[in-house]
A and B are shown apart, each in its own frame.
Chain A
Amino acid sequence: MPEIKVTPLGAGQDVGRSCILVSIAGKNVMLDCGMHMGYNDDRRFPDFSYITQNGRLTDFLDCVIISHFHLDHCGALPYFSEMVGYDGPIYMTHPTKAICPILLEDYRKITVDKKGETNFFTSQMIKDCMKKVVAVHLHQTVQVNDPFKILFCFSAAWIDKCRPDLLISESTYATTIRDSKRCRERDFLKKVHETVERGGKVLIPVFALGRAQELCILLETFWERMNLKAPIYFSTGLTEKANHYYKLFITWTNQKIRKTFVQRNMFEFKHIKAFDRAFADNPGPMVVFATPGMLHAGQSLQIFRKWAGNEKNMVIMPGYCVQGTVGHKILSGQRKLEMEGRQILEVKMQVEYMSFSAHADAKGIMQLIRQAEPRNVLLVHGEAKKMEFLKQKIEQEFHVNCYMPANGETTTIFTNPSIPVDISLGLLKRETAIGLLPDVKKPKLMHGTLIMKDNSFRLVSPEQALKELGLAEHQLRFTCRVHIQDLRKEHETVLRVYNHLKAVLKDYSVQHLPDGSITVESILIQATAHSEDQGTKVLLVSWTYQDEELGSYLTSLLKKGLPQSTS
């Protein structure tokens, strides 16, 4: 039985370094090739030795597919392709291909230049790696090799009930149902607006990509809508480059941005300008987006130190902060911070927390499953305990199998493959013309010959099959003798049988031939006197195998004997 084997190399019952190995139809595919943010040792990359122990990566893998540009989905790519060694195709969408190298380069800089690590991939490796990438359009089907195709989609809704064999879903928020996005956005905007109106400054520490752009758009539209004048600044040159790509990929964005694109490109920010270090001391209200997002170093921390003393100002943390960072400290309510050089910073500014995250919540995942109607579900990229809950819910609600393999653990899923068979149009028409109209609910029996040749299946009429195969036709006939006690003459017996059959089989054509035999459709019945006992007549019934049903019915009918009353 055909099967799909799934082995997570990363992200199995874990968040980060998404990397899943799938063997399907004899091909091996790797989905995602991410890194883990939480580790600085070998554990940050997926364990490729699982594959390499059997030989080279390129020999084993048919292709790699990257879902999106977040580092936990593509961060290990240069390591994987250049340092471990893989030369096969890597598929990703155009925006991913554009933005991914920027992020990789940034990541490399932080690790190598700032932390001084060695044995890490170089800029050249990133470039080389990108050369192996094949960019794909949305909704474009790519034929990787013969039976195997890939198709990128935004959402499951695009394929109306595609009913896949297996649905692999992330499950970061497996146990969370969130409030509406609009509520969160309104809260955020209200806070920013109030502070700016008071004349305060707002600091929003962000990571360079993704959420930052989302917030920019949000503020930009709000400024436009409310006709506000306070300046908004965005730090770091990296983001400018990324914004440039965002501008180019308008069709990939949400309805709002696409709608307004007719008037202007939302990413051509009107109100958001590049930040200069000197601006931080300017009087009056302003909003500044600064990196990094957890206030642990860099520009965001510098600005924070400058503004922390004034209670009119505000800092908004739009995401999660790791323990030990300044961000985490202030979020947990610490008002006095010890900075480097023993100085104490008193935090008087307001501290707010907003959760903006792109992950789907439990409800979203359930909805996806309902729409796609998969036969199996596999959960990755989430904590084991939370997955357990969701798994139980999925099985309970949809009655489908749900799996949650750990890293390195292989899950095998058996599938019922659909086998396409070609049927000749003539045969189809002929067969559907017989009997009732096709009905969805009832299976229909049809006669034909299945020819399996050159890896293809064809259903053709028997005559054509014989012709193609160069065979002569053989007829298979069943004959059966039925003894009847009848004292009359043979032809009288025949007549009685004929009348009887005519009366019983109203729907069939029963004929009495001049040579003394009876035909029912194509079944032949002949009567002879028994050689020994003249009182016993022998009825010879003969039919071809196609008429098996009718033939056997007829014999059983005759065996019951003829009705007495006819005489």
Chain B
Amino acid sequence: MAAHLKKRVYEEFTKVVQQQHEDLSAKKLRLTKPSKSAALHVDLCKATSPADALQYLLQFARKPVEVESVEGVVRILLEHYYKENDASVRLKIASLLGLLSKTAGFSPDCIMDDAINALQNEKSHQVLAQLLDTLLVIGTKLTENPSVRMRLVEVACKHLTDSSHGVRNKCLQLIGCLGPVEKGVAKEAESQSAKDVQKIIGDHFNDQDPRVRTAAIKAMLQLHERGLKLQQTIYCQACKLLADDYEQVRSAAVQLIWVLSQLYPESIVPIPSSNEEIRLVDDAFGKICHMVSDGSWVVRVQAAKLLGSMQQVSSHFLEQTLDKKLMSDLRRKRTAHERAKELYSSGEFSSGRKWGDDAPKEEIDTGAVNLIESGACGAFVHGLEDEMYEVRIAAVEALCMLAQSSPSFAEKCLDFLVDMFNDEIEEVRLQSIHTMRKISNNITLREDQLDTVLAVLEDSSRDIREALHELLCCTNVSTKEGIHLALVELLKNLTKYPTDRESIWKCLKFLGSRHPTLVLPLVPELLSTHPFFDTPEPDMDDPAYIAVLVLIFNAAKSCPTMPALFSDHTFRHYAYLRDSLSHLVPPLRLPGRKLVSSPVSTSITPNEDPSQQFLHQSLERVYNLQHLDPQGVQELLEFTIRDLQRLGELQSELAGMADFTATYLQCQLLLIKALQEKLWNVAAPLYLKQNALASAAAKQILEETYKMEFMYSGVEGRQVVIIHHMRLQAKALQLIVTARTTRGAEPLFGMCEKFLQEVDSFQRCFISELPHMQGSFVDKLLDLMPRLVTSKPSEVVKILQTTLRQSTFLHLPLPEQLHRATATIIEPTGESDNPLRFTSGLVVALDVDATLEHVQDPQGTVKVQVLYPDGQAQLIHPKPADFRNPGPGRHRLITQVYLSHTAWTEPCQIEVRLLLAYNSNRSKASAKIPKCTWSDSMEALPQSENGIEGTIPFSKPVKVYIMPKPARR
């Protein structure tokens, strides 16, 4: 028998080899493959004990298997599986089968039958569970095939009665992942299985093993995720599971309840022990709120998180979550919040408090007190006071989401949120500040709340302070005292942490422009002017004074009476600041002064904005007049580029768009210039000059296209095609130039082939866009493709040259939003004259602080470059944690760069700048490379050949004065 089996194995294995011989395109690698399965077979036969066999299998599992040999390996494994007596070896084989069927490109339907067979004869529960897992893998690979799925689900249902929890667990998982979801299929299948998947899973909600219960709920959730509409009937069952003894069951049940509440928010459920009925979403909300005071913190986090997304809940229930009643010795006591509110409404604040201020007031009826809340009552009060900070963060997040959708709730939760500003864990504080900022449209801060908020300005953490500045930017303050208080606290902050200067000024800018009427009565006091006496002129360089002026000038923008209160030097200072800090100081209509650059402040909506019109008009002009004589085209392009660049400078919101188009036109201009016929017809000795020009142009176009592709956010597929097209043209140009300078056809062969490959891949990537490109370079090229492939390089070059000249200029459609990635280095400032001294050979840390705008995925792309005077360049990848995200589209990089060098004789400047790294593989055009499933990436696919990596500098370089001293001995 054994001999026979062996023979069969070899038959199988030789068959595999033959297949490979048939395959003509085979590469050398393939020859080694059969030996892999053969080696495995030999090893397994050699193995004398189960332990040995296990070792071999483990070793085998470490190496990847190619797609072609998977089937052979699977056969061998299955043979051994049937022979094997030891359960642990069978287990390993089963797991290997699962792993193998994951191999990309391998279709596992051929091993499904074997796996199911194996399942039927298996006794060991562990192996059974593993086999089911393998089937799950197979099933997930063959999801499109409904009959396979039906069959697998049937197998799983059969094993649901197994006595081992592991097997039942896997069965449920399998049903959850593969159970029929579509209504039509379910009906069809009814004749076969006549089973309702939901019912089967629902029956296991009461399983005796908590792990199986959890798996059942998870399977149900999985079905939901795959699009099956869960029935409302399981709601009651799920509610019962909330009282389960095991935390993982409760945690999953909370999720299930949440899902159901989203599915059937409006259905009516009865309240037990009464005749009343309520909406399901309210009932579910109450139940999840109850779980916020669960014994296990995992469940608490889960519950608190989910609360945030239940926005359909009625406001009545929502407000209960903030319910908080205090008592002392059975007498009602007011909370600190209530006291603060009362103080505020009675008109006095910050009274010197006495003992017994919070003394309990009225007696409470003992019967009426509810010591332990049911349902929604006080859920957030609990969550925000939880001992675990994870729960508190989750509660703050939920609060944020609910407050965003309900302004009245936002107003009510303010007290609690402000409280969280003083949490003992920094993460929680930061989170609550961010939350507050998000809901700030809906709220106005009371003075006592503002007081608490402002107290946090002294926090030593920079993140907290900056988040708070952001918050203040968009806060509504109700009184002038509030503004004054805020200003005073901000100035205090400024003296304590001078590095916050920029952020504080910006904050005051918004504070001023939001509250002009509240600032107006404060002006004399703030400027310390006096009706009779002249006051001394304040120091213009004092950051605090600048801060005050920023507040006032921004308020004055929409308050024309304010400038009357200014003294002479204020006007002078205005002129100075308007110039030096133009981003902070708005243009003002001042008496007796001409208004400079007024058009900016006109309030025209962007749609009818003349500048936008101008942009479009100039583009139209370029496209319409493309059949002008070359000279005219060049001039027109040059003018348009200049116009666009100027427009970008003037109109910040159009800057991205204008730059983008200008760059594109620039490329076109370069191309036209390089192709000018007279240059190409000159005599051979002059080639050199012309070549230099053309090849430089080609190079620049390539660079510019990379910039266009990777430096702008909001670039869509249509633009990417045009950019790639331009790049293709540049490459063609390069090819032509090389063809003219090099002698002999040998090197050209390779280049031509490469170029044609690129054209081919262009066609593959953008096949859908080709119809839009009538008359373009690539369109013509593709028409000529059959000729190109067969012709000699010299001919190819000739064809290319003519096509390039004849091809039309493609329109660049503009996307809705386009922003150019920019970076500004705030620190180091580059102003210091004191060199940074350090001992040579050791390192010195340089703090780098920069803001990045419109950079996607900065963690992966932004690098810091340091250039030493000797030309040595150093590229530093900042840690992902160094990037913060203060707002949409904005990032902040705060990192440390380590410098080191050998000793210098005198201090010298180094340059620090930021680079944007790109990789054309990552580009939106190229298809995603399938990931290798095998654990080791060592033998993974090589980088695709045309993956070009590079960097684009996108910030102004900053000079840092350093001085490495020789070490003292």
CB within 8 Å of B: which of A208-226? Answer: 221, 224-226
Task: For B460, give its contact among A193, A224, A392 (CB under 8 Å).
Answer: A224
User: Is A441 an interface position by the 8 A CB rule?
Assistant: yes
Using known A-B contacts A160-B245, A177-B326, determine if residue A185 contacts B372 with beta carbons closer than 8 Å: no
Whether the pair B366, A182 counts as a contact (CB closer than 8 A) is no
- Determine the chain A residues whose CB is within 8 A of the CB of B335 once the complex forms: 179, 183
Q: Are A352 and B353 in contact (CB under 8 A)?
A: yes
A423-468 residues at the B interface, CB under 8 angstroms: 432, 437-441
Contact with A along B326-348 (1 / 0, CB 8 A): 11111001011100000000000
Q: Given the known inter-chain contacts A182-B422, A255-B389, A353-B355, please indicate yes or no for A176 contacting B371, CB distance below 8 A.
A: no
CB contacts under 8 Å to B, within A353-386, are 353, 362-363, 366-367, 370-371, 386
Complex interface: chain B residues within 8 A of A224 (CB): 460
Inter-chain contact B371/A370, CB cutoff 8 Å: no
Q: Which of B379-387, B758-766, B956-964 contacts A (4 or more CB under 8 A)?
A: B379-387
Contact with A along B426-466 (1 / 0, CB 8 A): 00000000000000000000000000100100111100000
Nearest CB in chain A to that of B250: its residue: A160
User: Contact partner of A189 among B352, B366, B422, CB < 8 A?
Assistant: B422
- Chain B, 454-486, contact with A by CB distance < 8 Å: what is the 0/1 string? 010011110000000000000000000000000
B387, B422, B423: the one contacting A254 at CB < 8 Å is B387
A180 to B336, CA, bound (A): 9
- With a cutoff of 8 Å between Cβ atoms, the chain A residues found around residue B419 in the complex are 180, 182-183, 186
Query: Which residues from chain A contact B381 at a C-beta distance below 8 Å?
Result: 180
User: Counting CB contacts under 8 A, is A336 at the interface?
Assistant: no
The answer to whether A225 and B328 have CB atoms under 8 Å apart is no
Does B354 sit at the interface, judged by CB under 8 A? yes
Question: Min CB distance, B737 to chain A, in Å?
Answer: 60
| A383 closest partner in B (C-beta) | B329
Residues on A with C-beta less than 8 A from B525 are: none
Contacts of B297 in A (CB 8 A): 157
Query: Closest CB of chain A to B310's CB: distance in Å?
Result: 23
Interface membership of B246, Cβ < 8 A: yes
B385 engages A181 (CB within 8 Å): yes
Residues of B within 8 A of A397 (CB): 371-372
Question: Chain B, 271-307, contact with A by CB distance < 8 Å: what is the 0/1 string?
Answer: 0000000000000000000000101110000000000
Which residues of B sit under 8 angstroms from A393, Cβ to Cβ?
369, 371
State whether the Cβ of B581 lies closer than 8 Å to any Cβ in chain A: no
Candidates B326, B354, B372, B455; contact of A190 at CB < 8 Å: B455
Contact B385 A221 (CB under 8 A): no
CB distance from A314 to the nearest CB of B (A): 10
Which residue of B has the minimal Cβ distance to A398? B372
Contact of A160 among B295, B324, B496 (CB under 8 A): B295
Is A437's CB under 8 angstroms from B353's CB? no
Q: Which of A164-214 contact B (CB under 8 A)?
A: 175-187, 189-190, 193
Cα distance A351–B336 when bound, in Å? 19
Indicate whether B206 reaches chain A with its CB closer than 8 angstroms.
Answer: yes
Q: Does B798 contact A (CB under 8 A)?
A: no
**A-B interface contact total, Cβ < 8 Å:** 116
Residue B163 interfacial (CB < 8 Å): yes
B424 in the interface (beta carbon within 8 A): yes
B355 pairs with A225, CB closer than 8 A: no
Cβ of B943 within 8 Å of any chain A Cβ, yes or no, is no
Once the chains bind, are B206 and A331 in contact (CB under 8 Å)? Answer: no
Q: Report A-chain residues with C-beta under 8 Å of the C-beta of B387.
A: 254-255
How many of chain B's residues have a CB under 8 angstroms from any CB in A? Answer: 51
Option from A160, A351, A441 in Cβ contact (under 8 Å) with B355: A351
0/1 string, A241-258, CB within 8 A of B gives 1: 000000000000011100
Q: Is A489 an interface residue (CB 8 A)?
A: no
> Which residue from chain A places its CB closest to the CB of B293 in the assembled complex?
A367
Does B569 sit within 8 A of A, measured CB to CB? no
- B161 beta carbon closer than 8 Å to chain A: yes
- B325: Cβ under 8 A from any A Cβ: yes
B336–A187 CB distance below 8 A: yes
Total interface residues in chain A, CB < 8 Å: 55
Closest B residue, CB atoms, query A193: B455
Question: What CA separation (Å) do A193 and B385 show in the bound complex?
Answer: 23
- Minimum CB distance partner of A321 in chain B: B355
* A399 contacts across to B, CB distance below 8 A: none
Instruction: Select which of A175, A193, A366, A370 is within 8 A of B327 by beta carbon.
Output: A175
**In the assembled complex, B71 has its CB within 8 A of some CB on chain A:** no
What is the CA–CA distance of A180 and B424 in the complex, to the nearest angstrom? Answer: 13
If A182-B419, A332-B355 touch, whether A363 touches B371 (CB-CB below 8 Å) is yes
CB of A154 to closest CB in B, whole Å? 10
- The residue on B at minimum CB distance from A332 is B355
> Contacts of A184 on B, CB cut-off 8 Å?
336
The answer to whether A333 and B354 have CB atoms under 8 Å apart is yes
Q: Contacts A181-B385, A432-B163 given: A350-B352 contact, CB under 8 Å?
A: yes
For A221, the closest partner residue in chain B by CB is B424
| Distance between Cα atoms of A371 and B389 in the complex (Å) | 20
Whether B704 sits at the interface, judged by CB under 8 Å, is no
The smallest C-beta distance from B613 to any residue of chain A, in angstroms, reads 53
CB of B247 closer than 8 Å to a CB of A: yes
Among A175, A181, A366, A371, contact of B328 (Cβ-Cβ < 8 Å): A175
Query: Is B208 close to A, CB under 8 A?
Result: yes
The minimal Cβ–Cβ distance linking A559 to chain B, given in whole angstroms, is: 40
Question: A175-B329, A440-B206 known; A370 and B372 CB under 8 Å?
Answer: yes
Q: Say whether A186 contacts B422, CB under 8 Å.
A: yes
Q: How far, in angstroms, from A423 to B324 measured CA to CA in the complex? A: 53
> Do A352 and B355 touch (CB < 8 A)?
yes
Kindly provide the distance from the CB of B213 to the nearest chain A CB, expressed in whole angstroms: 10
**A160-B246 contact given A175-B329, A180-B385, A437-B161, CB 8 Å threshold:** yes
In the complex with contacts A226-B458, A227-B458, A176-B206 CB distance below 8 A:
no
Chain B residues contacting A351 (CB-CB under 8 Å) are 354-355
Q: Which residues of B contact A177 (CB under 8 A)?
A: 325-327, 333, 371
Give B155-170 as 1s and 0s: 1 = Cβ < 8 Å from A's Cβ atoms: 0000001010000000
Contact B206 A441 (CB under 8 A): yes
- Residue in B333, B337, B372 whose beta carbon sits within 8 Å of that of A363 in the complex: B372
Contact residue among B245, B333, B423 (Cβ-Cβ distance under 8 Å from A161): B245
Contacts of A370 in B (CB 8 A): 293, 372
Least CB distance from B638 to A in Å reads 57
Asked, given contacts A180-B381, A182-B423, whether A366 binds B372 with beta carbons under 8 Å apart, the answer is: yes
| A182 near B245: Cβ-Cβ < 8 Å | no
Max count, chain B CB within 10 A of own CB: residue among A180, A331, A350: A180
B425 at the interface (CB under 8 A from A): yes
CA A224 – CA B356 in complex, angstroms? 31
In the complex the two chains form, what is the Cα distance from A186 to B456 in whole Å?
11
- Contact pattern, B 409-428, Cβ under 8 Å of A = 1, otherwise 0: 00000000001101111000
**Bound state CA distance, A59 and B55, in angstroms?**
61
Give A7 Cβ to nearest chain B Cβ, in Å.
28
What CA separation (Å) do A175 and B246 show in the bound complex?
A: 32
A residues within 8 A CB of B207? 440
Cβ contacts under 8 Å, A406 to chain B: none
Which residues of chain A come closer than 8 Å to B459, judged between CB atoms?
225-226
Whether B745 is near chain A, meaning CB under 8 Å from some CB there, is no
Question: Does chain B have a CB within 8 A of A259?
Answer: yes
> Chain A's nearest CB lies how many Å from the CB of B585?
31
Interface residues in A328-351 (C-beta closer than 8 Å to B): 331-333, 350-351
The 8 Å CB contact of B388, one of A176, A226, A255, A392, is A255
Leading 6 A-B pairs by shortest Cβ distance:
A353-B355, A227-B460, A366-B372, A371-B295, A183-B336, A157-B295
Apart from A186-B452, A351-B355: 4 A-B pairs, beta carbons within 8 A = A225-B459, A352-B355, A366-B372, A367-B372
List chain B positions with a Cβ less than 8 A from chain A: 161, 163, 206-208, 245-247, 293, 295-297, 324-330, 333, 335-337, 352-356, 366, 369, 371-372, 381, 384-385, 387-389, 419-420, 422-425, 452, 455, 458-461, 496
For this complex, 14 residue pairs linking A to B, each with C-beta atoms less than 8 Å apart, are A175-B329, A175-B330, A176-B327, A176-B329, A177-B325, A179-B336, A182-B420, A183-B337, A187-B336, A331-B355, A350-B352, A351-B354, A367-B372, A393-B371
